[in-house]
A and B are shown apart, each in its own frame.
Chain A
Amino acid sequence: MALKGAIVVDTERCKGCSVCIANCPTGTIALSKEVNSKGYNYLYMANPDNCTGCTNCATVCPDAVITVYRVKL
């Protein structure tokens, strides 16, 4: 059974620390070219098709900016 996931990032709170990126097992996420009002490049799903909704990124996020959704296909 395949798992399909997606994340929503609170881009204003994201500080672009990238700890989540280092812990993403599927290469789903990356930092955007754009910056938020604080000047941080924020997180986004660069390869949304890869996401399995494993929650690794949200688990390690120090700023609790990631919400994770998951469905079983």
Chain B
Amino acid sequence: MDIKDIIKPENKVYGKTPLLKDAILHYCPGCSHGTVHKIIAEIIEEMGIQDRTIGISPVGCSVFAYNYLDIDWQQAAHGRAPALATATKRLMPDKYVFTYQGDGDLASIGTAEIMHACNRGENIVVIFINNAIYGMTGGQMAPTTLLGQVTATTPYGRQADLNGYPLKITELIAQLEGTCYVTRQSVQNPAAVRKTKKAIRKAFENSMMKKGTSFVEVVSTCNSGWKIPPVQANKWMEENMFPFYPLGDMKDR
């Protein structure tokens, strides 16, 4: 059968959702951000909630998330997205409100905001991208940087006595009464992408059920920051990140 006969509208089984704008993503090749953006866009399209979804972007690489998803966006000061989301959801309870935050934003400078938003049980969705490094500023140590991991500010590898320990913030979040769903996922292969999509969809649905905060960590790669090509970075993530940040649901009620 000729390819021309296959490539016909009626045979299309997968393509870019219109919820993703045409702008070319500024992310580095292979960056997990793009995959997670795509997942969120597909969920918003499938749920038909474009006019009821408010995204809140952080400071960091994904500050520009608003250039890619065709919904209304608020861009927060560094770490403060959960505070914006709190007010937005409380003032417009019929809206789906989600924050999209990196590890520096959520687990370092914004620790107070995320802890208290989750502890209050705000009916919001939190997407937490953990790539164990600061991407936007050029690959410095993140709170989630692994022991021994080389970054621009841990050039000899992260040492506990000098730099402290990597922070398992998702495990802390899971302890909070206000959270209803806390999970850790990844997007390095099709099965992982599908699981993450299922998790984020559930989180969005939870946010309308007054159950509390849903928190989805996505263990991710930062090829440029790690200085590893994309495919090998996925492997490095599986070998080094997953043992310390094991995947799966921590809480689902």
Contact = CB atoms under 8 A, between A and B. Distances in A.
Nearest to B9: A69
A5 B12 CA distance: 10
B13 A15 contact: no
A62 B25 contact: yes
A8 interface: yes
B1 interface: yes
Contacts of A62: 25, 27, 29-35, 38
Nearest to B193: A59
B90 interface: no
Nearest to A23: B189
Contacts, number: 102
Interface string B1-41: 10101111001111111001000110111111111001000
Contacts of B14: 55, 58-59, 66-68
A27 interface: no
B109 interface: no
15 contacts: A4-B6, A6-B6, A15-B28, A17-B230, A23-B190, A58-B14, A60-B187, A62-B29, A62-B30, A62-B34, A63-B25, A64-B17, A68-B14, A69-B11, A73-B1
